[in-house]
Amino acid sequence: MKINADYSKRVVINHHDLPWIPSPESGVERRMLERTGDEVAKATSIVRYLPGSKFQTHAHEYGEEILVLDGIFSDEAGDYPAGTYIMNPPGSSHAPHSKTGCILFVKLRHLGLEHVEREVLDTKTAAWYQGMVPGLNVMPLMRQGSGSTLVKWAPETYFSPHRHHGGEEIFVIDGVFEDEYGRYPAGSWIRSPHMSAHQPFSKEGCTIFVKTGHLLS
């Protein structure tokens, strides 16, 4: 299966426009943003666990990133409420479930050898740092390698034009993100290819998940 698998193409999707696709486990559904492979796949998805649903124990050969968007996600190591970021490194395994139900942003099979230790971060309490322009604050999510970042835009914040070596991936968590190509409300996923350029801003304010430099292949 291939969904938006060509990294040379710009893609803009709002996951609310996509159908929920059942997974092999009852009560676990997915909205597929990009995918290369069948059930074992390099993928970016929105995943929904209905209350009481679970996934069988499985391994992550090339790792996994999870951002809990809503509800409470759990595995044998603990409970993770909305706002929790989890990085499960290559070779790790777990048996995830949700008693109350949850919605996740998930990236599978894209981490490298520099990602060795599991990381869990509560983004509701972690520190924000001043960004490159006034009104912009950043929160690094991963300590190992060139990891993912949360970026918070205050209303009426504007960034200078710039180009992305290795591409850029954005998921809009809340608010409205914009650039000269369009307006992206919460739930939007934007993937821009290697050496793409834009001039982003936010008139209303927003929080976005950002990953850069990982789209060369």
Model confidence pLDDT, tens digit, residues 118-162: 899 999 999 999 999 999 999 999 888 767 999 999 999 999 999
Reported CATH class of domain 129-212: mainly beta
Are 46 and 16 within 8 A, CB to CB? no
Residue whose structure tokens are 């609310």:
16
The secondary structure of residue 16, as a DSSP letter, is G
Please give the Cα distance from 186 to 173 (Å, whole number). 5
Residue 135: per-residue pLDDT? 97
Are 201 and 158 within 8 A, CB to CB? yes
Domain ranges of the chain: 18-122, 129-212
Are 79 and 49 within 8 A, CB to CB? no
The domain 18-122 is placed in CATH, from the list 2.60.120.10, 3.10.25.10, 3.40.50.1100, 1.10.3720.10, at 2.60.120.10
Cross-strand pairs, 58: 94
Single pTM value for the model:
0.95
**SS3 assignment, position 17:** helix
Q: Quote the tokens at residue 158.
A: 């504007």
